Amino acid sequence: MKKILTLFTIAALFASCEQKKEVAPEVAKVEYAKFGDSISADGALSNDEMMKKFATLKEGDTLEVKFKSEINEVCQKKGCWMTLDLADDKEAFVKFKDYGFFVPKNAQEKEVVVNGKAFVSIESVDVLKHYAKDAGKSQAAIDSITEPKVTYSFMADGVLIAK
């Protein structure tokens, strides 16, 4: 009887010491459509982190970087440029390397990862009006553009857009 009681006590002791394994919740994997060079979303900066990088750049500086954001606007003629959300109500203006690829014209509000060169530029009034026309803005909105603008620019060699 002592042996059975001892065996039962040892078994109970081992059972109480068993570690519970916590299972990590499933992380939803985002599927992307690829445009331009093959890139991955791994290691992409957030739009807040990218704004901090842009703030350190002067005209003429470039920075090789990858970041994730949301698409605000796409060129409605060809999909040859897009604007991405940055922190502090700012935007990044993205063009595509060597005019080598375009993005879908209906990609607004989708998650995007871009890889390439970030830089700061000053856009002339004529160029700003051209972009406004491409975006389908009203003539009144186009006519309201009267001053050059400091632009956070990006030349993308690869783009991923969430499906």
Asked if residue 18 belongs to a domain, the reply is: no
Q: Which two tokens stand for residue 152?
A: 């956070």
Counting the structural domains of the chain, the total is 1
44-83 residue pLDDT tens: 999 999 999 999 998 899 999 999 999 999 999 999 999 9
Asked if residue 57 belongs to a domain, the reply is: yes
d(CA 148, CA 88): 20
Average pLDDT, the chain: 88
Q: Map residue 62 onto helix, strand or coil.
A: strand
107-121 residue pLDDT tens: 999 999 999 999 998
Residue linked to tokens 């957030």: 46
132 close to 153: Cβ distance less than 8 angstroms: no
Asked if residue 14 belongs to a domain, the reply is: no
Asked if residue 1 belongs to a domain, the reply is: no
In this structure, what CATH number is given to the domain that contains residue 98? Answer: 2.40.50
Asked if residue 149 belongs to a domain, the reply is: yes
Asked if residue 8 belongs to a domain, the reply is: no
Asked if residue 75 belongs to a domain, the reply is: yes
Say whether pLDDT at 23 is over 50: no
- pLDDT value at residue 13: 47
Which of 124, 106, 112, 126 shows the shortest CA–CA distance to 154? Answer: 112
Domain that holds residue 42: 27-162
Asked if residue 61 belongs to a domain, the reply is: yes
